[in-house]
Chains A and B, each alone.
Chain A
Amino acid sequence: MFQKILIANRGEIALRIQRTCRELGIPTVAVHSTIDAEAMHVRLADESVCIGPPPARDSYLNIPAILSAASITGADAIHPGYGFLSENAKFAEMVAAHGLTFIGPSPEHIQMMGDKIAAKATMGRLGVPLVPGSDGAVTDYAAARKAADRIGYPVLIKAAAGGGGRGMKVAPSPAELEDAMRIARAEARAAFGSDAVYLEKFLDRPRHIELQILADAHGDVIHLGERDCSLQRRHQKLLEEAGSPALSAQQRDQLGFTVTAALSTLGYRNAGTVEFLYQDGQFAFIEMNTRLQVEHPVTEMVCGIDLVREQIRIAAGDRLGYRQSDVHFSGHAIESRITAEHPVSFVPSPGRVSLYHAPGGPGVRVDSALYAGCVVPSVYDSLIAKLIVHAPTRPEAIARLRRALDEFAVIGIETTIPLHQRVVDEPSFQASDITVHWLERFVSD
């Protein structure tokens, strides 16, 4: 087992990782920017190293600083969390080259799934159902026109180097295709350094359903069920549920079987999430995230498995030690992502939290690095807390979420708690009569 784990992240996920390391008895190193010097995970870590000024580029994305911090503290493993360097294949390679263990999949698989075109091609070959698309990059308008005619409008133009909901443009009809292509390519080049784009059929009322998988280094691959993440605004998830109200256990098993077989063939290792759009009873693969996800807690609540712990164990070479038939799902879990934004205008609201009171009681879990007196900086992602509830049934989970949201007090900054309070009272949400477009319409009304 590792002697010392360096946590290459910040905020709630750094605290999450710190907690599991502590329970495993593994000493930790927290790296942080100057503005995060008083962060909760820094206080709780065994050692800390300041690695740079606030901008992520100079701190949490600063590979030399992070590797240097590992070197001077004698860390032998690095957990990258999510975001930042977690899906940076070059970083994963460098960690290994320095004799440390990267707690995650191999650089090759990170690279493979990071290229969204290659990922689709690979998964398609392995029998995973895909969104009808251009079968590769479209390099000019003529090729795009041909592909779009075959796929059928409306089409979605996606950046090959994008992902996470970014770099996508819709062309509703042939007349808009040329302009949409030009803008999509320019934006892709600016945001991701590559203007390679591909086309997909635009699904007009899909749900977003993703499957959590775990794979060890000995060839065992299992899934831990699905999450429904259909509540999204500008492709950013607001709320997630385990399991999906739209799927039966049989559908879950079938999807799980197909996906785990594919990943087993690939020789994938560690945690990963395979994302689908689901419409009219059909699944369509969109991308795979080769890291721990923000919404992993809902899976943990229904399975009773600590995903960070499994990541660490797998990276240290342990066998999973259990099979698919040993995984049992119990009850229903919902997570509300709470951000430091105005609940109506979504204007960012960084600043000092003068009062913080998290909800508690049965079936309530809060993953947050906030504390009274802490400062939410302006230079990072606005996620400040995840409120997760678990109950035997979905209606009870919704009641629990409502109760917990009502107890949650964060004073000093604006948060999206009031938005979540409105959502849980919505009949459409309660009936789960939603698609990935539902929330956008809800907030603009």
Chain B
Amino acid sequence: MSRIPLDPDAIRALAGILHETGLTEIEIAEKDSRIRVVRAAVAAAEAPVPPPRPARSPLPAAEPAVPLADAITTHPGVILSPMVGVAYLFPEPGAPAFVTLGQAVTAGQTLLLIEAMKTFNQIKAPKAGTVTQILVANGMPVEYGEPLMIVEN
């Protein structure tokens, strides 16, 4: 089998064309060699969902949200909402917040509450770490899979 000469410039050019045109796949072939460049696959069954778009068009978004949003939802320390409801960062009005930025937390420590149908559900840190990002505001509605916080080791 002949070696396919690796041409990084060609691949970069194809990737650029994908982004510009909104295509999901380009393949070019010549004689025995073939290059195919594919845009990141549709979210698998259990993958986190991108943030909601207020779209009212049959057309897809030009670009899947923002690269930053992808970095957050796939961050190893991201805490995703397991339910639909309203996020509360304080145990009750006037009390200190459950956690603050930069705070060290232990496994099982309550990070915030999500209220749904008048019941409050504690969202706990799965592992010990440091709260590096708080992504929701107090009283903000959240959907299933929405990034809430990032707790890094």
Contacts and interface: CB of A to CB of B under 8 A. Distances in A.
Interface in B30-80: 42-43, 45-50, 52-60
B56 A44 contact: yes
Given A68-B85, A68-B117, A71-B117, A37 B49 contact: yes
Interface stretch (A45-53, A117-125, A307-315, A329-337): A45-53
Closest 9 CB pairs between A and B? A72-B141, A68-B84, A68-B116, A50-B143, A34-B49, A50-B144, A49-B143, A65-B84, A52-B144
Nearest to A34: B49
A34 B57 contact: no
Interface in B113-153: 116-117, 141, 143-146
B58 A40 contact: yes
A65 B83 contact: yes
Interface residues of B, number: 29
A97 to B, nearest CB: 10
Interface of A: 34-35, 37-38, 40, 43-54, 59, 64-65, 67-69, 71-73, 352, 371, 373, 375, 379
A50 B58 contact: no
Contact of B143 (A46, A54, A69): A69
Contacts of A373: 24, 60
Contacts of A51: 84, 143-144
B86 interface: yes
A69 B45 contact: no
Contacts of A73: 141
A35 B44 CA distance: 7
10 contacts: A37-B50, A43-B55, A43-B59, A47-B52, A51-B84, A65-B144, A67-B117, A68-B84, A68-B117, A72-B141
B42 A38 contact: yes
Q: Give the one of B55, B60, B143 with max A CB within 10 A.
A: B143
B60 A53 contact: no
Contacts of B116: 64-65, 68, 71
A222 B45 CA distance: 45
A50 B56 contact: no
Nearest to B146: A50
Contacts of A54: 45
Contacts of B85: 68, 72
Given A46-B56, A48-B52, 7 more contacts: A37-B43, A52-B84, A52-B144, A65-B84, A68-B84, A68-B85, A379-B45
B134 to A, nearest CB: 19
Contacts of A65: 83-84, 116, 144
Contact of A43 (B46, B56, B86): B56
Nearest to B55: A43
A53 B83 contact: no
A49 B52 contact: yes
A46 B84 CA distance: 18
Given A43-B58, A46-B56, A34 B47 contact: yes
B57 A44 contact: yes
B55 A34 contact: no
B44 to A, nearest CB: 9
A151 to B, nearest CB: 48
A43 B61 CA distance: 9
Contacts of A375: 42
A375 B83 CA distance: 24
Contacts of A53: 45-46, 144
For A51, A53, A68, A371, which residue has the most chain B Cβ atoms within 10 angstroms?
A68
Contact of B45 (A34, A48, A64): A34
Contacts of B47: 34
Contact of A38 (B24, B56, B60): B60
Contacts of A67: 117
A379 B24 CA distance: 24
B43 A50 contact: no
Contacts of B60: 38, 43, 373
A59 B46 CA distance: 13
